[in-house]
Amino acid sequence: MRTLIIAEHDGQHLNEQVARAITAAQQWQQPVDVLIAAAHTDALAAQAAALQGVSSVLVATDASLQHATAEHLADLVMTVAANYRVILAAHSAFSKNVLPRVAALLDVNMLSDVLEIVNQNTYVRGIYAGNVLATVQSADATQVLTVRGSKFAAAANGNAAGTQTVSVPAAAEGSRWVSEAFNKSERPPLAAAKVVVSGGRALGSADAFAEVLAPLADKLHAAIGASRAAVDAGYAPNDLQVGQTGVVVAPELYIAVGISGAIQHAYGMKDSKVVVAINQDPEAQIFKIADYGLVADLFEAVPQLTAAL
């Protein structure tokens, strides 16, 4: 039997998490195929075929896949699902939308955001905002799961896997893509950045959030993140939210500025290698998970730090 990876992409580039899912997929020691579904697949299929560990690239090309809905993608996956014992993807807004639908159509349960693959049907995943690690075993004939990308190294390039064409079922009726608005940024993507500078409610305004954090992030070539409180207050857009319900990050360096460190936030960043916390409140929870804590007025300390770098 084989393992299938559902590839996330933006129409031109494979998401970098795909290479991490490929590493996770090697655990089953069976051929790993990658499904590319898009309106234009040549470049995407070439990128997938180049990744080591890929056995074959399944290519589904159709204009209707330009902004494919979860309904359409799930129907597409179902046309090939019988060939696979494992169907997986890196955990993201994309896969969270599609894979549960696939699992239900297969009449199997699904494991979300798997941190460790113990064996071919046993996994470790976080529950209660990552405050508890549960080891779970699935008896389902098809294992459907999403994996935490940061827990698996990215597969390297240097392969030349073959491709095969998959026919595309008609798009499901009743659901239509209207538009999308991506926050344009020259910064590295939050989930993949080596350094993340995150701000909390203590920044006080959207202007201060940008004025204080952007120069530091520029110096460190960092992505900018935010606590839920900062996003709810309108200081930062929703896609910057780090935490249980936002993005989970694991950079080399995480700098938490004016963030109290609620358990929901900690969930999203506690796998960071080095954590720095700057907060005026010496009692802030964030200091308990920080390697280096600085009790200071962030409006003084952050510009000082930026200037000294």
Binding positions for other proteins, 152-211, rule CB under 8 A: 172-183, 189, 191, 194-195
Nearer to other proteins, 71 or 211 (CB): 71
Residue 119 lies near other proteins (rule: CB under 8 A): no
Nearest distance from C-beta of residue 112 to other proteins, angstroms: 5
Nearer to other proteins, 47 or 279 (CB): 279
Per CB under 8 A, the list member of 34, 103, 197, 226 interacting with other proteins is: 103
Per CB under 8 A, the list member of 52, 55, 109, 120 interacting with other proteins is: 109
Site for other proteins in 231-290 (CB under 8 A): 231-232, 237-239, 244-245, 247, 252-253, 263-264, 270, 273-276, 287, 289-290
Q: Which residues of 119-141 are buried (b: 16+ CB within 10 A; e: fewer)?
A: eebebebbeebbeeeeeeebeee
Q: Do 144 and 88 form a contact (C-beta atoms < 8 A)?
A: yes
Nearest distance from C-beta of residue 148 to other proteins, angstroms: 12
Site for other proteins in 7-66 (CB under 8 A): none
Q: Do 72 and 49 form a contact (C-beta atoms < 8 A)?
A: no
Question: In this structure, are strands 195-199 and 223-226 parallel, antiparallel, or unpaired?
Answer: parallel
Nearest distance from C-beta of residue 163 to other proteins, angstroms: 27
Per rule CB under 8 A, count of chain residues that contact other proteins:
89
Structure tokens at 281: 């409140």
In eight-state DSSP terms, residue 155 is P
Residue 23 class from Cβ within 10 Å (0-12 exposed, 13-18 middle, 19+ buried)?
buried
Nearer to other proteins, 49 or 89 (CB): 89
Q: How far is CA 11 from CA 37, 39, 57, 88, 172, in A?
A: 9, 8, 16, 20, 20
Per CB under 8 A, the list member of 29, 119, 132, 170 interacting with other proteins is: 132
Residue 36, beta-bridge partner list: 59
Nearest distance from C-beta of residue 162 to other proteins, angstroms: 30
